[in-house]
Amino acid sequence: MTYFRADEPQIIQVIRIILEVIWTIVLLHYELTKAFVKWTVPQEPKDVSEDVILITGAGHGMGREVALRFGRLGARVVCVDINDKGNEETLNMITEEKGRAYTYQCDVTNRDAVFALAEKVTSEVGEVTILVNNAGIMPCKPILKHSEKEIRTLVDINVNGNLWMIQAFLPAMLERNCGHIVAMSSMAGKMGLRNLVPYCGTKYAVRGIMESLAMELHEDPRDTNGIKLTTICPYIVNTGLCTNPRIRFPSLMKVVDPGEAADQIVDAIRKEYHEITIPSDLYYTNKIYNLLPVGAAKLMTDFIGTGLDPQ
């Protein structure tokens, strides 16, 4: 960015601006070319065998599926969940496949507990290099049916849990200029859905956190290029959270198998994608949808007829 001195002649200021515009155009072309190449040329997934990968909500569902896959790739997998039983089951499944895993119980809504977890994992396992913020809940009912406690719990787990984990693990990544933070948002974080008003709010918040963090790291005077961010936006995944999916065209908008979703998540992390949707074609479909006027978007929503009925 160009800064002007008060005593600098106006012609010099104009020249500075022109040079900055030219340089910005050059950089834009470079970034666009780089993005095009990345999109068209298959990337080699990074090796994670030396990584310490911490996954919250690892005791069931997507967290477990992702943990199993990283275990098979040779990573040291740190399984974090408030549910000890489910977490131990995940650990046993990883070790039965000759993987390396560790379990820790933690309530991600408790900031002190999260910071204590960070210290303990660092001393007992090593510095976390990939943080997967997966823990979340999804109550499904009309907004007026939610109690105050349900909404506060939803925000605490889905939003504050992400913030506390980032605050606890980002400092060490900044010191090393190395690390990867992954957030589980949702297609419900890209478009509003009936019966998921508070949930959609939390998943929009997760995307906002990750986008803002990307800008904060970009504008940090330190070199932060070694820190990667990935946001995952799955459609309806058959993990048990979505008990009453409503799908008019199952062949086009099918419920995604957890294993298939986990494969895509792990692939996105290993290729250091900035954001993905599951299925991948929803990424562009959603961008087109967002260009429509509000009335037209509602008509398309009525026609597609996809959503969740109350639990």
Distance CA 280, CA 286 (A): 11
Distance CA 182, CA 62 (A): 13
Please count the residues of the chain. Answer: 311
Out of 104, 199, 204, 235, pick the active-site residue.
199
DSSP 127-143: --SEEEE-------S-G
Question: Residues 125, 78: contact at Cβ < 8 Å?
Answer: yes
Distance CA 203, CA 215 (A): 19
Distance CA 186, CA 210 (A): 13
Distances (CA, A) of 22 to 4, 12, 29, 36, 82: 18, 15, 11, 21, 53
Distance CA 167, CA 60 (A): 25
Q: How far is C-alpha 207 from the geometric centre of its chain's CA atoms?
A: 7
Q: How far is C-alpha 83 from the geometric centre of its chain's CA atoms?
A: 22
| Residue where the block lists tokens 């954001």 | 275
199 is catalytic: yes
Cβ-proximal residues to 289 (8 Å cutoff; 6+ apart), any chain: 191, 297, 300
Buried b (16+ CB within 10 A) or exposed e, 267-292: ebbbeebebbbbbeebeeeeeebeee
Q: How far is C-alpha 26 from the geometric centre of its chain's CA atoms?
A: 31
Q: Would you name the residues annotated as active-site residues?
A: 199
